[in-house]
């Protein structure tokens, strides 16, 4: 079983803007990476 943990730990801080869209974009990219890896049977 493959488990992926996605969090906002890659962001240094949320200084004065709302980083929600950035977190969603990072999650979408990571999910795309996992799906492509699973299709190629790499993951």
How much is the pLDDT for 1?
46
Dist. CA 41–CA 35, nearest whole Å: 10
pLDDT at 27: 84
In angstroms, rounded to a whole number, what is the distance separating the alpha carbons of residues 39 and 12?
Answer: 32
Q: What's the length of the chain?
A: 43
pLDDT given at position 4: 61
Report residue 31 CA to chain centroid gap: 6
pLDDT in tens, 1-43: 455 666 667 677 666 677 788 888 888 898 899 899 999 988 7
Task: Work out the end-to-end distance of the chain between its first and last CA atoms, rounded to an integer number of angstroms.
Answer: 10
């Amino acid at each position: 079983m493959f488990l992926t943990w996605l969090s906002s730990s890659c962001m240094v801080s949320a200084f004065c803007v709302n980083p929600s869209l950035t977190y969603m974009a990072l999650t979408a990219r990571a999910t795309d990476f996992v799906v492509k890896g699973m299709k190629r049977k790499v993951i």
